[in-house]
């Protein structure tokens, strides 16, 4: 999601030039487009909406990879999109945070039934907010009712005014405490970045280290994900990367690459399609969590009607989204969108087939454009994960 999901709905949800299969398919595809050809068509369809750049990577059950890039990485120079360029991970990092919390539960260092007050006494207070009634499970699942009040820009002027602002976690929580809860704990669902700000603070309290250090130690290093990096308050990305654009409306397309993520403790992650695929596959095939904790992560609740527009049929677990497949069954992932980069991803229930598509432009001027971009990217994920299934279109 963007800095807040409501702002994502309001402002941001991003020429096919290159498609390569890193290893040729071992078995001929049935009549109709091959999986590689379908991937090219789907990246072209996203680009045709007006999105400047697209990159996608699909990994099959045998580990073979297909990569597609579309459009340009820089509207000024026409530079092609790198097949594994960096992008801001944004809210996909919530799955990293949730994984660490569940690892700590497995180690007996915390309980999902612990209250926020148990770990952060007095932090969630005022205007009806009560940290003694909100559990870590509520925070992980967005069912705590804490209002999402992270700053965000909706105009070019706001972008230029805010792009270098640095907010400490306590300041972001205080912004939320100025609002009444959206609902009593456990009695609704509303996407809350503030809840994950609090989870970062809990990880620091439980381990003595910032959440990004625990993520590096527990997830990135064991998996060899050396192209997933925490950038802190840096406003730039490593190279190569596509420039990020925000479309505010006709005649108002702004390069928003340079900015400090509003929640730099949680959202200052950059990654690549290769690393994001590898992380999600490792999570779903049980390499990061014991079976009990992974099962808890996959216990889902319905999302709000507003978010159903973005995730049709979607349900939310603990830092993980479940969505239906057109070929039957469901898949798991967590969308990320911030600073012009919009990324959708998915992995089958057994971790065998995965896909990531990242666009470097957010068409956020109208709900119609937001949903067009979401639906086109979602179709790419669905086609990639259904490839080889009987009845796949």
Q: Residue 31 — pLDDT band, cuts 50, 70, 90?
A: low
Token duo for residue 143: 């069912």
Residue 303's nearest CA partner among 135, 190, 196, 192 is 190
* pLDDT score recorded for residue 80: 97
* pLDDT score recorded for residue 389: 66
| Tens digit of each residue's pLDDT (9 = 90 or more) over 201-246 | 999 999 999 999 999 999 999 999 999 999 999 999 999 999 999 9
Which is more confident, 30 or 257?
A: 257
Q: Which residue is listed with tokens 């400490």? A: 168
* pLDDT score recorded for residue 141: 98
- Region 131-141: mean pLDDT is 98
* pLDDT score recorded for residue 19: 36
Q: Residue 250 — pLDDT band, cuts 50, 70, 90?
A: very high
* pLDDT score recorded for residue 11: 37
Burial of 269 (0-12, 13-18, 19+ CB in 10 A): buried
| Tens digit of each residue's pLDDT (9 = 90 or more) over 162-190 | 999 999 999 999 999 999 999 999 999 99
Token duo for residue 383: 């086609």
Token duo for residue 197: 């700000």
Residue 3 predicted with pLDDT over 80: no
CB distance 38 to 19 below 8 Å: no
- Region 101-118: mean pLDDT is 98
| Tens digit of each residue's pLDDT (9 = 90 or more) over 222-234 | 999 999 999 999 9
Strand partners, 130: 125
Q: What's the predicted TM-score (pTM) here?
A: 0.92
Q: Residue 17 — pLDDT band, cuts 50, 70, 90?
A: very low
* pLDDT score recorded for residue 243: 98
How far is Cα 368 from Cα 213, in angstroms, rounded to an integer? 39
């Amino acid at each position: 999601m963007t800095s807040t999901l409501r702002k994502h709905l309001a402002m941001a949800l991003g020429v096919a030039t290159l498609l390569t299969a890193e290893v040729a398919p071992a078995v001929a595809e049935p009549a109709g487009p091959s999986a590689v050809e379908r991937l090219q068509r789907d990246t072209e369809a996203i680009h045709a909406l007006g999105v400047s750049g697209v990159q996608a990577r699909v990994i099959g059950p045998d580990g073979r990879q297909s990569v597609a890039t579309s459009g340009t990485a820089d509207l000024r120079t026409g530079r092609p999109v790198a097949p594994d360029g960096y992008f801001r991970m944004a809210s996909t990092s919530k799955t990293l945070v949730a994984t660490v919390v569940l690892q700590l539960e497995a180690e007996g260092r915390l309980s999902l039934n612990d209250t926020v007050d148990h770990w952060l006494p007095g932090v969630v207070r005022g205007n009806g907010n009560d940290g003694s009634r909100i559990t870590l499970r509520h925070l992980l699942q967005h069912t705590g009712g804490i209002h999402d009040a992270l700053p965000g820009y909706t105009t070019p002027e706001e972008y230029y005014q805010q792009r270098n602002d640095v907010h400490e976690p306590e300041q972001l929580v205080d912004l939320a405490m100025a609002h009444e809860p959206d609902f009593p704990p456990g009695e609704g669902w509303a996407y809350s970045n503030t809840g994950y700000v609090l989870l970062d603070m809990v990880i620091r309290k439980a381990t003595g280290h910032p959440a990004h250090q625990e993520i590096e130690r527990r997830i990135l290093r064991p998996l060899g994900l050396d192209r997933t990096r925490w950038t802190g308050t840096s406003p730039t990305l490593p190279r190569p990367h596509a420039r990020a654009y925000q479309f505010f409306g006709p005649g108002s397309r702004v390069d928003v690459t340079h900015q400090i993520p509003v929640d730099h403790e949680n959202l200052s992650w950059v990654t690549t399609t290769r690393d994001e695929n590898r992380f999600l596959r490792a999570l779903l095939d049980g390499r990061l969590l014991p079976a009990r904790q992974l099962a808890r992560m996959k216990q889902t609740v319905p999302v709000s009607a507003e978010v159903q527009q973005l995730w049709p049929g979607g349900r939310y677990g603990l830092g993980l989204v479940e969505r239906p497949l057109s070929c039957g069954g469901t898949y798991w992932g967590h969308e990320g969108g911030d600073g012009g980069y919009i990324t959708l991803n998915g992995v089958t229930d057994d971790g065998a087939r995965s896909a990531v598509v990242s666009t470097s432009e957010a068409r956020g001027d109208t709900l119609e454009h937001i949903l067009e971009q979401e639906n086109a990217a979602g179709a790419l994920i669905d086609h990639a994960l259904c490839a080889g299934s009987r009845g796949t279109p």
